[in-house]
Amino acid sequence: MHSYPAAHHRTIMAVDIAGYNDPRRTTAHRLVIHDGFWRIMRTAFADAGIPWDALFRENTGDGMMIHLPTEVAKADLVAELPERMLAELRRYNEVHAAEANVRLRMALHAGEVYQGSNGTISDANSHAFRLLDAAEVKVALRESEAVLALVVSNTFYQDVVRADPAADARAYRRIPIENKETKTEAWLRLLGAVTNGFPVQVPAAPDFPALVEALLAVPCVRKTESRQLLLELFPRREIADLVPHHAEDRLQVIALARTCLRFDGGLAALLTAVRTVEPESPQVVALAAVIGQWPGHPTW
């Protein structure tokens, strides 16, 4: 019987230098860029308190792939590293010619990774690079004149970015991604973009804490017994069956909301179940108004 090595769950970062092969760049420019890029990354990680030697790193020529160990908290990664990278990019670009300037695209995802004899093997790796290389991300970076485009997978956004206020979830906007076999949604944040000297304002994401409070205000959601009935009546079993259990009511409601947000129309399905148990009370009307702010979750 043939056995494979065990997979390990890893945070995956893919980074690419935008326009690396621009014909205006000479070999001398690319040598400077390559050295500068690695110095930017090492310094940014050090400033964020993440040990460089603890990372699995793979040089991709015009960028790199990094696997972060489990002891590096994903929340710390998105709360600290992007701003550190932006600072180092500004310092580098200020003292180099335009042809040697560096603008970066970075993708974050997480998943199972196998270690092969000549490198890593992972569908999650492939997904991260599909996000990184998506035309939607390249165009957004180019048109905004930002210096760093950070794109995160939908699950990474829902599970990590939204969980920590320091990650600045409102700075991200949802974008469609179509790249080769991949058709999905992701979340994009642009850093360092300016117009007439002022930072570009990115459309705000809906308010997750407000959603949680609106759910907790509805008695049939707040109470343990009726919440179990809601899950039994839930019109989409593929969502209800994934909701993790928590003994504390607030944590359970947060888990319920986050699970619904992973699916198109998930919050709308939750509202349908709520209306079955508790017809249009003022609290349900208020909940419908909050859910209506979320793209892809109609309340009709």
Domain edges within the chain? 8-199, 208-291
The band of 144, judged by pLDDT with boundaries at 50, 70 and 90, is: confident
Dihedral of CA atoms 142, 26, 104, 202 in degrees, nearest 10, equals -20
pLDDT of 268 over the 50 cut? yes
Per-residue model confidence (pLDDT) at position 300 = 52
- Report the chain's C-alpha Rg in angstroms: 22
* Separation CA 62–CA 147 (nearest Å): 16
Of 49 and 206, more confident: 49
Least confident of 117-121, 207-211, 261-265, 271-275: 117-121
pLDDT of 181 over the 60 cut? yes
Structure tokens, 50: 């993440």
Of 295 and 152, more confident: 152
pLDDT of 202 over the 60 cut? no
The band of 196, judged by pLDDT with boundaries at 50, 70 and 90, is: very low
* Separation CA 275–CA 280 (nearest Å): 7
- Per-chain mean pLDDT for the chain: 85
Per-residue model confidence (pLDDT) at position 28 = 95
Q: What percentage of residues in the chain have a pLDDT greater than 70?
A: 89
pLDDT of 142 over the 90 cut? no
- Please report the DSSP string for 179-202 in residue order: ETTEEEEEEEEEES-EETTEEPPP
Provide the 10 A C-beta neighbour count for residue 239: 21
Structure tokens, 200: 């570009």
Query: Average pLDDT in the 265-288 region?
Result: 88
Q: Does domain 8-199 have CATH number 3.30.70.1230?
A: yes
The top-scoring range by mean pLDDT among 66-75, 88-97, 263-272, 286-295 is: 88-97
- DSSP 8-state symbol, 63: E
Query: Average pLDDT in the 11-31 region?
Result: 93
The band of 298, judged by pLDDT with boundaries at 50, 70 and 90, is: low
Query: Average pLDDT in the 53-67 region?
Result: 89
Q: What is the pLDDT of residues 44-59, one digit of tens each?
A: 999 888 888 888 898 8
Per-residue model confidence (pLDDT) at position 204 = 47
Per-residue model confidence (pLDDT) at position 203 = 45
Taking the model in full, what pTM does it have?
0.64
